[in-house]
Chains A and B, each alone.
Chain A
Amino acid sequence: MKEETTMNNWKNFTKGFIKENPVLVMLLGCCPTLGTTTSAINGLSMGLATTFVLVCSNIVISLIKNLIPDKVRIPSYIVVIASFVTVIDLLMQAYLPGIYETLGLFIPLIVVNCIVLGRAEAFASKNGVWASCVDGLGMGLGYALALMILGAVREVLGSLSIFGWQFIQADGILVFVLAPGAFFGLAYFIAVVRRFNK
């Protein structure tokens, strides 16, 4: 019995990386994915901020799931999520002002990120605290990983640098830093993942 729960937890954790990756397979949260992946570091920090919100809101929602009347569950979830977004928003503003400046509006927009609400509705409202925490962590890190890889690809092609380190002193293929490059990058990324997920 105990072994089974460990197995389940491991499954809940790993499914977010490839099999049910929120952005690459479920196509949730595409707006910040396209908007913030201009470089690897931006993608990673956006992903980690979302992970924080996802884990905390999953824990709280699975704790209070029996107190919330069914009819008002979505507004209640949003209130919980918005509180944690405010926390991370203020924390980043205080300790990581540089990244906060670049990400800008996308941090408050985590409130309406489909992944966070989707996991609250689909998982945390039906499962225990520990399982929800693991699920949130796996999904969040899977999201952060996808964003970081997409950001790295766009940074390498678009500005010939990686994590801010310029390896060739020249102009890259500018379009990859701009919005069309995000769509190209995401489309081919999804195609590759689908091919290997079969």
Chain B
Amino acid sequence: MAENRLAIAMSPHVHSNESVKKIMYSVVIALLPAFCVSVYFFGLNAIRVTLISIVACMAVEWLIQKFLLKGKTTIFDGSAIVTGMLLAFNVPANLDWWIIVIGAIVAIGIAKMTFGGLGNNPFNPAIVGRVFLLISFPSQMTTWPTPQPIWDIKALDAVTGPTPLGLLNEGQMVDYNYMDMFIGNMGGSLGEMSAIALLIGGIFLLIRKVITWHIPVAVLGTMAAFSAILWGVDPTKYADPLFHILAGGALLGAIYMATDMVTSPMTGKGMLVYGVGIGIITILIRTWGSYPEGMSFAILIMNALVPLINNWCKPKRFGEVVKPPKEEVKK
């Protein structure tokens, strides 16, 4: 009898070669340029904060898997490493180690494992961790060290300075050199300053097809359009669009955090709606809110709306009638 070569299985029949591991390690690679820039500007402190954050995230996930859920170890799928890196990128480089550990416990323990681990969390874990820290430790989380090149001896003294958005929030019109902002020579969280490094990583992710263009373009486009309108109304009071995109966590959030596969909508149309929402809320908070930066809050708010967006923007099914035939009007 001939060998039965007809394999019968449920769809999908064609598998891409992707796995959680591959995607997560791609994100890690994409974050490396920004990490190098922060090491250049903040020195050993950047390495310290990032390592503590990654190790704490992995340890928390391991402990919960081992002792609470009693499931198999998942820490090497890379998602805890990505969460740890993103959390570190979102805090000042001179943060105390125990605050980072609390952030890691909140990010992994509350935002991720409580909901059942990777794939089930409605909110981006790293942003939940950051927002928790920002509300809990307002003074430590908003004391930003001034970036200084690594060979600068004065770097040993901890000099702190304002961020562009912080100054804007206090009502001062800032005259920043856009080249400095583009390279990353401004006050801010560990990994959010360097636009060029973040863009390089973002292009890498686009080529690797880890992210699609929809969310970053929608977020940044909306921010630019909205701030351009405000700037057009009164240029002395509101900052220009380029400033808004280069300052704060706009690029980090738009490219790396809003695009998190688990917490963003599934269809392209949904992603556009989601991105526009993030852009609008960010500028609203930056302009009229009490916090200088609104990116993380905006992403969290839109994360909460993702199930609704998914419901609105369902993909068309094959074989579905595009326009239902007109029902006969009943008398």
Contacts and interface: CB of A to CB of B under 8 A. Distances in A.
A175 interface: yes
Contact of A178 (B102, B110, B135, B137): B135
B135 A175 contact: yes
Interface string B102-124: 10000000100000000000000
A174 B137 contact: yes
Which of A174, A180, A184 is packed against the most chain B CB atoms within 10 Å? A174
B51 to A, nearest CB: 23
Give the dominant DSSP class at A's interface: helix
Contacts of B135: 174-175, 178, 180
Contacts of B12: none
Nearest to B102: A173
Contacts of A173: 102, 136-137
A176 B136 CA distance: 8
Best-buried of B135, B136, B137, B138 by chain A (most CB within 10 Å): B136
Contacts of A175: 132, 135-136
A175 B130 CA distance: 12
A174 B110 contact: no
A184 B136 contact: no
Contacts of A171: 137
A179 to B, nearest CB: 10
Interface residues of A, number: 8
A180 B135 CA distance: 10
Contacts of A174: 135-138
Contacts of B102: 173
A173 B136 CA distance: 5
Contacts of A180: 135
Interface string A155-198: 00000000000000001011110101000100000000000000
Contacts of B132: 175
A184 B138 contact: no
B196 to A, nearest CB: 35
A171 B140 CA distance: 11
Contacts of B136: 173-176
Contacts of B110: 184
Nearest to B99: A173
Interface in A19-36: none
A174 B102 CA distance: 12
A171 B99 CA distance: 12
Nearest to A180: B135
Interface of A: 171, 173-176, 178, 180, 184
11 contacts: A171-B137, A173-B136, A173-B137, A174-B135, A174-B136, A175-B132, A175-B135, A175-B136, A176-B136, A180-B135, A184-B110
Given A174-B137, A175-B135, 4 more contacts: A171-B137, A174-B135, A175-B136, A176-B136
